[in-house]
């Protein structure tokens, strides 16, 4: 009887042990939260990784066209376990995918580019799904939307100042010519109209990115690098 009770009490413990022995350990999966990982001879640089670049040629919405090449270099290395994966000075190539000049009445200049290729110092080339995350080196610009579009800041203040200056100049000329308050008013009106006409006929400022402009690139998808080719 005691033997039967002992077997009954040990039965749940034995079943638990058997279940643990039959469960296979989960295969390790790369984590995108902790940076690059190595899987089956491939180094995975996860999407969302930011890579600082510098432009190697000037770009402007004044003369840029869709399809034009973009050339840049990495300005800081990407590492894994004390090993440099993407060294500073690695070439980065891309394409301009959208260009919009500033409007004469409304609309700001916009520029959209995507990075497509990494060229390592060894000659190893890898396809790159990269977009612009930020443009810290560009003056009077800001990022618009989530696709990496660079937009020029508004010129409304500058246009208003041009109209005001023209009106002031017209008032002075009118007052001197007519020697009366009426002449001042007519001169101000004429100057204001001329200034407004000039502002309406003039395009808004272009996006201007000189050589050496800092660009923060972000990976839109995981970047896969062949470990063996990086070691050459």
For residue 181, what pLDDT band results from cuts at 50, 70 and 90?
Answer: low
Going from N- to C-terminal start, the domains of the chain cover: 37-153+206-230, 156-201
The burial of 67, by beta-carbon neighbours within 10 Å (0-12 exposed, 13-18 middle, 19 or more buried), is given as exposed
Question: Who has greater pLDDT, 1 or 47?
Answer: 47
Q: How far is CA 226 from CA 18, 38, 73, in A?
A: 41, 10, 20
pLDDT (tens digit per residue) in 194-220: 444 444 455 578 989 999 999 999 999
% of the chain with per-residue pLDDT over 90: 42
**In the predicted model, is pLDDT for residue 111 greater than 50?**
yes
Tokens of 180: 């009366």
37-153+206-230: CATH, from 2.40.128.260, 3.60.40.10, 2.40.33.10, 3.65.10.10: 2.40.128.260
CA dihedral over 57, 60, 61, 64, signed as positive or negative? negative
Q: Is the pLDDT of residue 150 over 90?
A: no
Q: What are 19-77's pLDDT values in tens digits?
A: 545 444 444 333 344 688 988 889 999 999 999 999 999 999 999 999 999 999 999 99
């Amino acid at each position: 009887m005691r033997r039967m009770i002992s077997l009954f009490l040990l039965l749940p413990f034995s079943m638990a042990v058997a279940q643990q022995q039959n469960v296979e350990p989960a295969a390790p999966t790369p984590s995108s939260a902790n940076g690059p990982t190595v899987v089956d001879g491939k180094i995975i640089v996860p999407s969302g990784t930011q890579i600082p670049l510098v432009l190697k040629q000037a770009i402007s919405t004044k003369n840029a066209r869709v399809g034009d090449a973009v050339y840049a270099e990495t300005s800081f290395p990407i590492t894994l376990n004390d090993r440099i994966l993407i060294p500073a000075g690695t070439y980065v190539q891309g394409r301009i995918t959208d260009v919009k000049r500033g409007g004469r009445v409304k609309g700001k200049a916009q520029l959209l580019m995507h990075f497509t290729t990494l060229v390592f110092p060894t000659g190893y080339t890898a396809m790159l799904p990269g977009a612009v995350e930020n443009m810290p080196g560009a003056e009077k610009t800001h990022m618009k939307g989530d696709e990496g579009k660079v937009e020029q800041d508004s010129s409304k203040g500058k246009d208003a100042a041009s109209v005001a200056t023209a009106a002031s100049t017209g008032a002075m000329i009118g007052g001197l010519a007519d020697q009366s308050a009426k002449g001042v008013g007519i001169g101000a009106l004429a100057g204001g109209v001329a200034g407004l006409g000039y502002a309406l006929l003039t395009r808004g400022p272009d996006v201007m990115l000189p050589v050496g402009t800092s660009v923060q690139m972000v990976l839109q998808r995981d970047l896969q690098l062949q470990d063996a080719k990086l070691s050459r």
